[in-house]
Amino acid sequence: MFLHHCTACARRQLIFPSQFTGVASTGEGTEVAFTCWCGEEQAHLLGRRAAPADRMTAA
Ligand SMILES: [Zn+2]
């Protein structure tokens, strides 16, 4: 899971793998698509350059 700042509800939410709707590999890392707790579709890059505070554990 990881912390994500939602662009729809403007909150920092913990996102769990059970919320994932898709995963894509990009040049920057792994991008996951998921449904936020507010119901909006969001995307988050699990990049190798992600700040430690923004990535709690490997999904
Ligand atoms: Zn949200």
In this predicted structure, the answer to whether residue 5 has a pLDDT above a threshold of 80 is yes
In this predicted structure, the answer to whether residue 56 has a pLDDT above a threshold of 90 is no
pTM of the model: 0.74
Extents of the domains making up the chain? 2-54
User: What's the gap in Å between 27 CA and the centre of ligand 1?
Assistant: 26
CB neighbour burial string for 20-53, b if at least 16 within 10 angstroms, e if fewer: eeeeeeeeeeeebebebeeeeebebbbeeeeeee
User: What's the gap in Å between 6 CA and the centre of ligand 1?
Assistant: 5
pLDDT digit string (tens) for 12-55?
999 999 999 999 999 999 999 999 999 999 999 987 755 555 55
The larger pLDDT score, comparing residue 53 to residue 2, is at: 2
* pLDDT computed for residue 47 by the predictor: 75
User: What's the gap in Å between 10 CA and the centre of ligand 1?
Assistant: 6
User: What's the gap in Å between 29 CA and the centre of ligand 1?
Assistant: 22
User: What's the gap in Å between 41 CA and the centre of ligand 1?
Assistant: 8
* pLDDT computed for residue 16 by the predictor: 96
